[in-house]
Amino acid sequence: MSSIRNLKKDIDFLSSELLSCCLYNLQMSDKKHEKTIGELINHTISVRNDLKNKTCGLTKAGDSKKIKAEAKVIVDQLIKHVDDGFEKLGKLEK
């Protein structure tokens, strides 16, 4: 992990990519998936805020090994959420 600052940027970037794809699908769909996409948008924003709050607490963790371990958990949660989100969007398009 290079820095907490870069981790926050990665959280913002990946979340915004998922949100922009959600909004694009919302715009292009037949309104039948509006509720599902809306729920995914709300969940993505919630997860983004939660992960950024966890990231802000990393500096209080103490030694560098503990910080790296907690940062890895945050990265894993981010990747899992974004992957799940894109998977849900892919299923809606079919």
21-80 pLDDT, tens digit each: 999 998 887 778 899 999 999 999 999 999 999 998 887 667 888 888 888 999 999 999
Burial 7-33 (b: 16+ CB within 10 A, else e): bbebbeebbeebbebbeebbeeeeeeb
Would you give the DSSP letter of residue 58? G
Query: Whole-prediction pTM value?
Result: 0.87
Domain ranges of the chain: 4-93
Burial 40-62 (b: 16+ CB within 10 A, else e): bbeebeebbeebbebbeebeeee
- Please report the pLDDT score of residue 2 as a whole number: 62
Mean pLDDT of the 1-22 span: 90
